Amino acid sequence: MSARRQRRARSPDVSGQQFTPIRRAYTPLDILSEDEEDRVHRLSLTLLAETGLKFHSEETWPILEANGCSVDRDTGMTRFPADVVEHFLKLAPAEFTMRARNPANDLHIGNEHIHYGSASSAPNVLDMDRGRRPGTQADFEDLVRLNHMLGTCAFHSGHPVEPIDTPPNTRHLTSAYAWHTLSDKVTRVYAIGRTRVRDSLDMIEIAYGIDRDELRRAPRIHGSINVNSPLVMDAPLIEAAMELAVNGQANVISPVAFAGAMSPITLSGSIIQCNAEAIGVIAFLQMVKAGAPCFYGVLTTPVDMKSGAPAMGVPETVTGTLANGQMARRYKLPQRVMLGSTSNAPDAQGAYESMFSLWAAQLSGAHFVYHAHGWMEGGLTTGFEKTILDSEMIGMMGALRGSLDFSDAEEAMEAIAQVGPGGHFLGTEHTLARYETAFHAPILSDWRPYEFWENAGAPDTAQRANAKWKAMLEAYEEPPMDEGTKEALAEYVARRTEELGDSEI
């Protein structure tokens, strides 16, 4: 590990910056009045009490009933009394620490910490050399390598691109092997059914060199539990969530209800529905295991009414995200948000949509940001160049400061008096002592004078990003893992692959 650190320190231009946890600079913005916040809460409780959520997993029913909910056993429709929701919601922790294989990459979740993750789950991958194409294991691994190296990338949100050349029933094994050997940052499990979760937890134990008791003491992995909006909780997801919860691992409760399609077209209506879905499912998981770490993971964004495509990085995303953040704070739950762009190219639109939603994450008080590196096309594609572009923008956000350092104000006053009217500060002692670290250093922005830039071939941002990711992959080195651990992981994958055969799981 110290060897890797030394290497990083030697090549800052290639690897971006070493991972440094980012803290949000500003107090989150409240955009709901107290009355409106109460109203969202009360209407959500009404929705849960009168309409309810449909739980497809029969396993959940006795737990729901034992804790005061009424379940229609023909349909799974479950009505939650208001006091039940309020009681259980309070049991979810406001803060926790997710342990990475490398302790330097541990993530404190809560308060002013904001962690930007990789892209995840895109079926396609795009780079300027090979164009847009379905993702493969090789692309997946290259993107994991990049995200491992990027100082702005705090964790793996999931498969940065789906490796469609690996079999779906054993993909969780090959993917976990890749994550654990190619990186030592926090990873995700695709929480679809108990089998995937159990295998993933076994592999965490092997990779981290810990036993189940130790595993249960802290979250090391996260699963994203998408609510099938409106109002449906599918069986494989909630069962996976239960498995994660009893083992002390983190669940991201994620109603992704594009306004106008899976939720009302008005932002207020969409927020009420998604809030009800989120707090209903979180309350249920607290019945399963009091204190289970849960993220409030609502996404509120519209579908484009012309194309039917989800619109990411638009004004309504910002407004919705701010309202969601406020509700998460009300419940003292860490907030997961999503970033991304609708753009088909790593161009100006891709940049402004992502930069727009980065501000939404910053101002909403978000803690855990999925899809922050590379998402395009509303999540249908992850781009290599876009990954670098997003890293640059996250670095800029990370360099924002919510206060100013006045410790040298007297020295500055002296420098001004010395320089005097009409002079300049370029050669002064005050400047020379500080110029190397005074300002944020970008990894991608090109500030050369036009003529220099033109003589260098006038490379646009995407072309520079293209050169950057290739240089990074050239320089990539696997983080250290002892051979025994690596072999044990490989053996586990081989054994489980054989056991699973071609069964559906």
Q: Is the Cβ of residue 130 or residue 434 nearer to a second copy in the bound state? A: 434
Q: Is the Cβ of residue 158 or residue 379 nearer to a second copy in the bound state? A: 379
Alpha helical stretches, state H, 209-347: 212-217, 235-246, 267-288, 315-330
Number of neighbours of residue 6 by Cβ within 10 angstroms:
10
Q: Is the Cβ of residue 440 or residue 470 nearer to a second copy in the bound state? A: 440
Q: What minimum distance in Å lies between the beta carbon of 402 and a second copy? A: 6
> Helix, strand, or coil here: 46?
helix
Q: What minimum distance in Å lies between the beta carbon of 389 and a second copy? A: 5
> ∠ CA 138-144-150 to the nearest 5 degrees?
140
Q: What minimum distance in Å lies between the beta carbon of 92 and a second copy? A: 24
Q: Is the Cβ of residue 76 or residue 93 nearer to a second copy in the bound state? A: 76
> Helix, strand, or coil here: 286?
helix
Q: What minimum distance in Å lies between the beta carbon of 463 and a second copy? A: 9
Q: Phi/psi of residue 59, each to 5°? A: -60, -30
User: Ramachandran region of residue 332, left (φ > 0), alpha (ψ -120 to 50) or beta?
Assistant: left
CA 231 – CA 257 distance, rounded (Å): 10
Q: Is the Cβ of residue 285 or residue 444 nearer to a second copy in the bound state? A: 444
Residues 6+ apart with CB under 8 A from 291: 91, 92, 93
Q: What minimum distance in Å lies between the beta carbon of 275 and a second copy? A: 12
Q: What minimum distance in Å lies between the beta carbon of 434 and a second copy? A: 5
> ∠ CA 290-49-90 to the nearest 5 degrees?
25
Q: Is the Cβ of residue 205 or residue 304 nearer to a second copy in the bound state? A: 304
Q: What minimum distance in Å lies between the beta carbon of 308 and a second copy? A: 8
238's tokens: 């909630």
Q: What minimum distance in Å lies between the beta carbon of 129 and a second copy? A: 16
Q: Is the Cβ of residue 169 or residue 319 nearer to a second copy in the bound state? A: 319
Q: Is the Cβ of residue 97 or residue 428 nearer to a second copy in the bound state? A: 428
Q: Is the Cβ of residue 35 or residue 502 nearer to a second copy in the bound state? A: 35
> Among all chains, which residue has been given the structure tokens 């006053």?
413
> ∠ CA 342-374-156 to the nearest 5 degrees?
130
Q: What minimum distance in Å lies between the beta carbon of 255 and a second copy? A: 12
Ordered DSSP codes for 145-188:
HHHHH-TT--B--S-SB--TTS-TTTHHHHHHHHHHHH--SBEE
Residues 6+ apart with CB under 8 A from 141: 178, 182
Q: What minimum distance in Å lies between the beta carbon of 215 and a second copy? A: 35
Helix (H) / strand (E) element for 408: namely none
Residues 6+ apart with CB under 8 A from 24: 112, 113, 114, 362, 365, 366, 402
Q: Is the Cβ of residue 264 or residue 479 nearer to a second copy in the bound state? A: 264
> Among all chains, which residue has been given the structure tokens 């998604």?
274
Residues 6+ apart with CB under 8 A from 164: 123, 134, 135, 136
227's tokens: 């609510």
